[in-house]
Amino acid sequence: MSLYTVNLITIHAIVAIGLNILVGYTGQISMGHAGFFALGAFTTVILILRWSFPLWIALPIAGFVSSAFGFILGLPALRLKGPYLAIATLGFGMTITTIIKHMEFFGGRMDFKPQTLFVWNTDERYPLLLCDHDHRCFDDDRSSEVDQDKGGRAFIAIRDSDIAAEAMGVNLTYYKTLAFAVSAFYSGIAGGLYAFILDLSILRVFISSCPSLS
């Protein structure tokens, strides 16, 4: 298995960990994570190419940018459920992709093509994930400990019954938006990593995933 494939699997695993916090623990539906993924990718690329940020600073910033949008998207979750929430989040993802496609700030039709990153001074490509099996950057074992703290128990209570959770004193506004924000953070980080393992212009990749927007 090539290093590129390992990187690709790991990046999608990061997205899955974030989705597990939102869908698995909190019971909220989101079909808009492609938007967070794209935000993370473009934020990272813009910070590095235009403002010369180092990768390890640009990535967390991209995660927090996606997290901020996740917080905003979490606000409709206070009143919407099921298919209605799914449609709202899907609309967010399509809106982000459309905005990125048509704004010159995001490269417009010229697009961005991130430079290839290398392993130290070698010619090995796609080296982004330099953490080994025992020291993973985004450890799924840590995310599995969510149910052992106060926030995790609040997420589970909301998933089981938000009415009962509110009756027990759980702040629905805080924890629902927090779940969206944390999940979006993971997707933003994954998007930033994804942009740099591609030997393609990133706009073409995100637009081609939504043929209706092409």
Average pLDDT over residues 8-31: 90
Does residue 208 carry a pLDDT above 50? no
pLDDT for residue 132: 38
Tokens of 126: 């796609």
Q: Is 159 exposed, middle or buried (0-12, 13-18, 19+ CB in 10 A)?
A: middle
The pTM (predicted TM-score) of the whole model is 0.79
Does residue 189 carry a pLDDT above 90? yes
Does residue 27 carry a pLDDT above 60? yes
* CA distance linking residue 41 with residue 43, whole number of Å: 6
105 pLDDT band, cuts 50/70/90, is low
Q: Of residues 138 and 168, which shows the higher confidence score?
A: 168
* CA distance linking residue 35 with residue 8, whole number of Å: 18
Task: Give per-residue pLDDT as tens, 172-185.
Answer: 889 999 999 999 99
Q: Render the burial of 17-41: b for 16+ CB within 10 Å, e for the rest.
A: bbebbbbbbbbbbbbbbbbbbbbbb
Task: Give per-residue pLDDT as tens, 76-100.
Answer: 878 888 888 889 898 888 888 788 7
Task: Give per-residue pLDDT as tens, 28-76.
Answer: 888 888 899 989 988 988 888 788 888 889 899 999 999 999 999 888 8
Phi-psi region of 49 (alpha: psi -120 to 50; beta: other; left: phi over 0): alpha
pLDDT for residue 145: 62
CA angle 42, 135, 14 (to 5 degrees): 35
Q: Of residues 66 and 108, which shows the higher confidence score?
A: 66
Local structure of 63: helix, strand or coil: helix
- What are the C-alpha distances in Å from 111 to residues 47, 59, 106, 155, 202? 15, 20, 7, 39, 7
Q: Of residues 193 and 208, which shows the higher confidence score?
A: 193
Average pLDDT over residues 155-175: 89
Task: Give per-residue pLDDT as tens, 111-149.
Answer: 555 555 544 344 444 444 444 333 344 444 555 566 677
pLDDT for residue 42: 86
pLDDT for residue 96: 86
